[in-house]
Amino acid sequence: MRQFAARRRLTSKAQRRLALAMKLPHEIELPDDVPRHDPPDPGIDVVRARRETPGCAATLHLNNAGAALMPEAVVDAVIEHLRLEAALGGYEAAMRAEAVLNRAPDAAAALVGAARGEIALVESATRAWDHAFWALPLAAGDRILTGESEYASNFLAFLQAEKRIGIRIHVVPSDESGQISVAELENAIDDRTRLIAITHVPSTGGLVNPAAAIGRVANAAGIPYLLDACQSVGQMPIDVGEIGCDMLSATGRKYLRGPRGTGFLYVARALAEKMEPIGIDMNAADWVARDRYHLKPGAARFQNFEGNIAGRAGLCKAIEYARAWGLDHIQARIRHLAGRLREGLAAVPGATVRDLGVEQCGIVTFTLDGADSFEVADELRRQRIHIGVSLAGHARIDMDARGLPQLLRASVHYYNSDDELDRFLRALDAIDR
């Protein structure tokens, strides 16, 4: 593993901090003068949430925007189906699990306020987003409006469409807070605008873009609206009707706490009927004659026949688990933790919080003077503390404009404790630079 190129000798105080930081969460005995901040919460029983999350016993996990720790119920759902496949065979196991598999799109629809026929289960948010984007009837000269904080995978698709089709990309500037300017978005619309595509919660700034305000602009202009909700679904209430988006992509592995390789796509039925996905199969369409096929109605045309059935069972359980806690309660808990973390980072010498926007979420980004982000993350990982690193290439326009080649990213979830945040801040403060 990489070591810091230069390291000063730790003081005895720093050594004590480091020794404390290396303990597992349940091993830490805080001194009497260190406050325990976890307030009583009628919606989130933190003790129960941690008990039902096996990873909490061994890890201080602040990389939930990368992939959250799965609750035991989700793990059990995945393993149970895999054992069924081992015992019966894949097709036979799927038949046995038909009730769960039929429940999964219903659960996803209920989560985002959609109808069942408007949901397709896919293997990732990126594939969901790609299915929707490439199914739009775009032509040379058509304009796409997006924001400065758009995620790399999405913008790469824009660039590919620019190269292949000749579409034009217009990046709407951010306002003074760092979120997309709704006024500038409205002013940018012309008669060749064919799509508004926005990332709801960018991964590199902690902000929550004003999705519903964007929806009102898009709906008034009659322009399809694609929302990347990869980082927002699972950490806050989402209602596609209130937002006004026509398409929404989501993943299972992040704030929904589901398994990797899972996700879903929402497409409003009226728009879906006008779209033709690339790469259809016999689940997406019926071969009705030698030279003809009929696409399935609604979002079914975006779902492949083959998929990770065990993963879908886990995704269904993850959605039901999140809804049982209540998305309002989850959001409140995450906001509490993120607010405390931002306050704590402000007191760490050399740390600068880099979050943007009027509304902020559970993603907290920061830099540490004199330190390489990867080396910091590696050092913390050796102490069983997990955070993420974001690079300029993940959101090129935003990060280049801010002169940030890399960021540290600590993303909280409702099962994190205030004491864990204190432990993380002490470990960060003890790192030599």
- pLDDT tens per residue, range 18-66: 333 333 333 333 333 333 344 445 589 999 999 999 999 999 999 999 9
pLDDT at 42: 57
CA 75, 78, 82, 83 torsion: positive or negative? positive
Distances (CA, A) of 258 to 79, 156, 265, 297, 408: 13, 26, 15, 27, 24
249: alpha, beta or left? (left if phi > 0; alpha if psi -120 to 50): beta
Structural domain includes residue 7: no
Domain boundary among 325, 344, 363: 325
Residue 64 sits in the same domain as residue 78: no
Q: Which two tokens stand for residue 9?
A: 């000798």
Residue 258 sits in the same domain as residue 367: no
Q: What is the pTM of this model?
A: 0.88
Q: Considering only CA atoms, which of 225, 139, 152 is closest in space to residue 182? A: 225
Helix axes 418-430, 373-382, angle to 10 degrees: 120
CA dihedral 50, 51, 55, 61 (to 10 degrees): 10
Structural domain total, the chain? 2
Question: Which one-letter DSSP state was computed for residue 419?
Answer: H
Q: How many CA atoms lie within 13 A of 224 on its CB side?
A: 24
Q: Quick count: other Cβ atoms within 10 Å of Cβ 334?
A: 24
Distance CA(347)–CA(364), nearest Å, equals 15
For the chain, which ranges sit under pLDDT 50? 1-40
Domain boundary among 303, 325, 347: 325
Measured CA angle at 281 (ends 276, 282), to 5 deg: 115
Domain boundary among 325, 354, 372: 325
Helix axes 309-325, 72-88, angle to 10 degrees: 160
Q: Which two tokens stand for residue 275?
A: 């779209």
